[in-house]
Amino acid sequence: MPTLVWTVLYYLGLFAGAYFLTAVGFMLFARLEKDEDGSLIIDPESLHYRACAKCYQWKMYRIYRIWESDTKVSHVEYYQIGLCGYFWRVFWAFILLPIGYVILGIWQTFKTVIYAPFMFLFGYYPWPTLNVMEDEVNPFAVEMKRIAFPRVFNFELKPYLVVFPVLYGWLFSSYPQEIWRWTFVVLVIVLVIAMLIVIASVKGKVEDSENPRVVLVREYIKASKQGICPLVKVKSKS
């Protein structure tokens, strides 16, 4: 066990050292420009600036002027970041950005592995993208891509039509008494819920009706006791 731990630590240290040396080499090859006045100029298309803009979510800022037209300036100019501050931002961007992409890749892969079997049952597959996560403001969000399955007439044969019955049959053959009992319980619950929905629907329609509703049996008993049988008529369709 100690040998395995030291081996893992050795390779992690080797990777960290190589990564650090690469970052140093990147910093040594990073270049700036100078204008005629000797002011330092950053090329917005340079790799180091694009790495910072991506890592720190830099954007352009609009400056409103009274006597001049509005202009847009970069994040560096807007916050007046100096050479030293920019240097360390570039250094950490080169280190943090790949680590962030590795973590993001692992997270997207994890979501795909977890979501794919369940979504496949209903004819979809996950397509994890950054845009969906940003639009939904939810790290668990994925884009749903549809899978076309064979059709019988207008009915699509999706996997859940086969998987669920097969799974139920296997469970029933393995645990017949337990599955039968739970099946009965689920059916009773479904029937009760369906009855409550129907009652609520009928009650809502009755309450929304302009005319009062009465029970036929109760009105018949009342008429029989009074000895008077009132006439009835059929509501016009117009």
Distance CA 52, CA 26 (A): 13
H or E, element range at 41 = strand 40-41
Higher local confidence (pLDDT), 188 or 209? 188
| Overall pTM > 0.85 | no
Higher local confidence (pLDDT), 170 or 152? 170
Collapsing DSSP states into helix, strand and coil, what is residue 72? Answer: strand
Share of the chain above pLDDT 90, in %: 3
**Listed ranges 51-55, 64-68, 199-203; the one with the highest mean pLDDT:** 51-55
Higher local confidence (pLDDT), 160 or 238? 160
CB atoms under 10 Å from CB of 46, counted, come to 15
| pLDDT tens figures, 104-159 | 888 888 888 888 888 888 888 888 877 777 776 778 888 888 887 777 777 777 87
Q: pLDDT band at 62, cuts 50/70/90? A: confident
Distance CA 54, CA 144 (A): 26
Q: What is the pLDDT of residue 192?
A: 92
Q: Which token pair is 225?
A: 């006791």
Average pLDDT of every residue of the chain: 79
CB atoms under 10 Å from CB of 49, counted, come to 22
Least confident window among 79-88, 109-118, 204-213 = 204-213
Q: Which residues of 79-100 are buried (b: 16+ CB within 10 A; e: fewer)?
A: eebeeeebeebbbebbeebeee
Collapsing DSSP states into helix, strand and coil, what is residue 84? Answer: helix
Share of the chain above pLDDT 70, in %: 89
Residue 206's Cβ-side half-sphere holds a number of Cα atoms within 13 Å equal to 10
Residue 66: DSSP 8-state: S
Q: What is the pLDDT of residue 66?
A: 65
